[in-house]
Amino acid sequence: MAIPRNELKFYLNSAYVPMLFSRLSAAMPMDRHTRNGGNYRIRSLYFDDPSFSAYFDKINGFENRVKYRIRFYNSDLSYVRLEKKAKQDRLCFKDFEVISSEQAKSLLAADPSSGGALLQELWNKVHFERFRPLLFVDYCRSAFLHPAGNVRITLDRDICSSRFVSDLKDDLAPVPVLEEGMSVLEVKYDTFLPPYISSLLEDVPKIPCSVSKYCLCARALF
C-alpha cells in the first residue's frame, strides 16, 4: 500500500542550482540512479484517455486525481517502472511495479500481458477506457535522500517533451517547457520535514507552485 506523502514544488532560477547542489550533497546521500556529474536522466511516458482526464483533473484543481506512467532511467530499459501517482486531499500516493521491456511493449501496443496488479489495472484502463500512451517527459534530475521523515529533494533541469509515436525510445525533436534559465525544486516527505533539512533551503530564492510536468508538456505539445 502506498504511503501518503507531502509534496512541495517550487520554480527555481537555474543560477542557484550549483550552490544548492553543493549544499545538499554535503548533507544528504544521492539517489541510486545518479551517474558521474551528480545527476541522471529520466524519461516518463504518460497515459491519458481521449478526454484528457488526467490533464483536466489537474488543471481544474480536483483534489482527487490519478496519473499513470512508464518510467526508466539513463536510457536503460533493463529497469522499467510502471507508476500510478494519485492525489487525495492534498496528500500524494505513488504505487509502482517493475515491469519488463516486453511487458511495456505489449502495453504500448494495447496487447494483453500477464503481470502484477498495477499492470492489470492499467491494461483495464487501456482496454475499457481507451487510455493510450500520449507524451514523453524528459529531464535531468539530481536527487537527495534523508531517512528522517523519509525526505527526498530533487532538482529538475532541462525539462522537455515530445509526442509518443510507437516506442519507448522514440527520438522526436524535444520541446522545452520551462522558461529559459528555470528549474524545478521538489521537496517530498512523509509526516515531517526535519528543521535541519528545511534550513538548507530557506535562503534560496524560489517560487511556490503546483507545477505538473505532464500538464506543462501537454500544453506545449497540444
- The pLDDT of residue 103 is 95
Contact by Cβ (8 Å): 72, 84: no
Q: What is the mean pLDDT of residues 53-79?
A: 96
48-57, 112-121, 166-175, range with the lowest pLDDT: 112-121
User: What length does the chain have?
Assistant: 222
Q: In the chain, what percentage of residues exceed pLDDT 70?
A: 100
Helix 101-108 × helix 117-129 angle, to 10°: 10
Residue 1 confidence class, pLDDT cut points 50, 70, 90: low
Split at pLDDT 50, 70, 90, the class of 165 is: very high
pTM for the whole structure:
0.95
Say whether pLDDT at 110 is over 80: yes
pLDDT of the residue at 202: 95
Averaged pLDDT, 173-184: 96
- Owner of C-alpha cell 481521449: 50
Q: How far is CA 3 from CA 27, 92, 96, 108, 113, in A?
A: 25, 8, 12, 28, 27
Query: Mean pLDDT across the stretch 64-92?
Result: 95
Mean pLDDT of 2-30: 95
* pLDDT(3) > 90: no
Residue 87: all three cell numbers together: 492525489
Q: For the chain, give the mean pLDDT.
A: 95
